[in-house]
Amino acid sequence: MRRFTTRVLAVALTGGLLLAGAGLLPLGGDALVPAAQAQEKKEKKERHPHIRAAIRELREAKEELKEAAHDFGGHRKEALEAVDVAIKQLELALKFDKK
């Protein structure tokens, strides 16, 4: 029984340290604050996170369209062209917005 208790404690402590390292579980009073502040700072620093996410999603959709086994009722070619135009326009918009 003692071995079981020791193992349970070891697993619990290891899991707690992993969560604390990820900023999800505070070890002390202020352990979570720096992780939250770092995330806030990153979000404030990154300009237009939704546009950047849209570009990533469009690139993934383009790959999915390219690799698909069918042509989506004849719309694949035009959809790929539209995705390319959308990506280009979003990238130009971001480039124009640089300070």
What is the pTM for the complete model shown? 0.53
Residue 98, pLDDT above cutoff 50: yes
Q: What is the structure's pLDDT at 86?
A: 98
Q: Long-range CB contacts (< 8 A, 24+ apart) of 48-57?
A: 48/94, 48/97, 51/90, 51/93, 51/94, 52/94, 54/90, 55/87, 55/90, 55/91
pLDDT at position 74 over 70: yes
Check whether 92 has a pLDDT greater than 80.
yes
pLDDT tens-digit map of 5-18: 455 445 554 554 44
What backbone torsions phi and psi does residue 97 show, to the nearest 5 degrees?
Answer: -80, -10
Q: How far apart, in whole angstroms, are the C-alpha atoms of residue 34 and residue 70?
A: 49
What tens digit of pLDDT does each residue of 20-63 get?
Answer: 455 554 555 555 567 777 766 665 677 899 999 999 999 999 99
